[in-house]
Amino acid sequence: MSEHELRVSKIRNGTVIDHVNGGQALNVLAILGIDGSEGFGVSIGMNVPSDRLGRKDIVKVEDRELSQSEVDVLSLIAPEATINIVREFEVVEKNRVERPEEVSGVLSCPNRNCITNADEPVESRFAVVPDGVRCGYCDEILREDLADYIDV
Amino acid sequence: MRQDHLISATQLSREDVEATLDRAREVAADPGALRDSHDGAVLALCFFEPSTRTKMSFESAAKRLGAETIDMGSVESSSVKKGESLADTVRVIEGYADAIVLRHPSEGAATLASEFVDVPVINAGDGAGQHPSQTLLDLHTIRENHGLDDLTVGIMGDLKYGRTVHSLATALTEFDARQHFISPESLKLPRSVRFDLHEAGAQVREHTELEAVLPELDVLYVTRIQRERFPDENEYRKVAGQYRIDAETLEAADDDLTVMHPLPRVDEIAPDVDETDHARYFEQAHNGVPVRMALLDELLSRAGGDEE
| pLDDT given for residue B307 in this prediction | 41
What CATH number should be reported for the domain whose range is B9-129+287-303?
3.40.50.1370
Shared domain for A86 and A139, answered yes or no, is no
Q: Evaluate whether B9-129+287-303 and B132-285 have a shared fold.
A: yes
| pLDDT given for residue B305 in this prediction | 59
**Average pLDDT rounded to a whole number, residues B162-184:** 97
- A37 or B228, which is more confident? A37
Listed by start position, the domains of chain B span 9-129+287-303, 132-285
- CATH code, domain with A138: 2.30.30.20
**Average pLDDT rounded to a whole number, residues A62-77:** 87
**Average pLDDT rounded to a whole number, residues B118-123:** 97
Mean pLDDT of chain B, nearest integer: 94
| pLDDT given for residue B232 in this prediction | 86
DSSP secondary structure, B137-197, as one string: HHHHHHHHHH-SSSEEEEEES-TTT-HHHHHHHHHHTTSSEEEEEE--GGGPPPHHHHHHH
B279-307 residue pLDDT tens: 999 999 999 999 999 999 999 998 875 44
What pairing do the DSSP bridges indicate for beta strands A54-62 and A102-104?
unpaired
Shared domain for A39 and A114, answered yes or no, is no
Any chain A CB within 8 A of the CB of B91?
A: no
**Average pLDDT rounded to a whole number, residues A100-105:** 92
B230-256 residue pLDDT tens: 888 888 888 888 899 999 999 999 999
Confidence of residue B204 (pLDDT cuts 50, 70, 90): confident
- Test B85 with A119 for CB contact under 8 angstroms: yes
- Test A140 with B107 for CB contact under 8 angstroms: yes
Search chain A and give the residue with CA nearest B193: A139
| pLDDT given for residue B35 in this prediction | 92
Shared domain for A106 and A71, answered yes or no, is no
Shared domain for A116 and A48, answered yes or no, is no
| pLDDT given for residue B82 in this prediction | 76
Nearest to B192 among A118, A122, A140 (CB): A140
Cα B86 to chain centroid distance, Å, stands at: 22
Shared domain for A8 and A57, answered yes or no, is yes
Shared domain for A65 and A111, answered yes or no, is no
| pLDDT given for residue B308 in this prediction | 39
| pLDDT given for residue B230 in this prediction | 83
B2-55 residue pLDDT tens: 469 999 999 999 999 999 999 999 999 998 899 999 999 999 999 999 899 999
Task: Say whether pLDDT at B105 is over 50.
Answer: yes
Shared domain for A90 and A121, answered yes or no, is no
Size of interface A-B (CB pairs under 8 A): 63
**Average pLDDT rounded to a whole number, residues A96-115:** 94
Task: Say whether pLDDT at A125 is over 60.
Answer: yes
d(CA B170, CA B250): 26
- Test B108 with A141 for CB contact under 8 angstroms: no
- Test B109 with A121 for CB contact under 8 angstroms: no
Cα-only R_g, chain A: 16
| pLDDT given for residue B3 in this prediction | 62
| pLDDT given for residue A72 in this prediction | 86
Task: Say whether pLDDT at A108 is over 70.
Answer: yes
Residue B194 exposure: Cα atoms within 13 Å on the Cβ side: 11
| pLDDT given for residue B184 in this prediction | 94
Shared domain for A80 and A127, answered yes or no, is no
Query: Which chain B residues are closer than 8 Å to A129 by Cβ?
Result: 195
- Helix, strand counts (H, E) of chain B: 10, 9
Query: Which chain B residues are closer than 8 Å to A108 by Cβ?
Result: none
B126-147 residue pLDDT tens: 999 999 999 999 999 999 999 9
What CATH number should be reported for the domain whose range is B132-285?
3.40.50.1370
B145-170 residue pLDDT tens: 999 999 999 999 999 999 999 999 99
- Test B192 with A118 for CB contact under 8 angstroms: no
Q: Which residues of B are catalytic?
A: 53-54, 82, 103, 131
Residues recorded for chain A: 152
Cβ count near A122 (within 10 Å): 20
Among left, alpha and beta (phi > 0; psi -120 to 50; other), residue A147 is alpha
Query: Which chain A residues are closer than 8 Å to B86 by Cβ?
Result: 115, 118, 120
**Average pLDDT rounded to a whole number, residues A39-63:** 92
Shared domain for A75 and A26, answered yes or no, is yes
Q: Which domain holds residue A17?
A: 2-96
Letter for the amino acid at B257? L
Query: Which chain B residues are closer than 8 Å to A111 by Cβ?
Result: 107
Any chain A CB within 8 A of the CB of B200?
A: no
| pLDDT given for residue B162 in this prediction | 96
Contact present, A79 and A108 (Cβ < 8 Å): no
- Test B108 with A116 for CB contact under 8 angstroms: yes
Shared domain for A27 and A63, answered yes or no, is yes
Distance from CA of B192 to the nearest CA of A (A): 6
Contacts of B4 (CB under 8 A, 6+ apart): B120, B299, B302, B303
- ipTM score here? 0.93
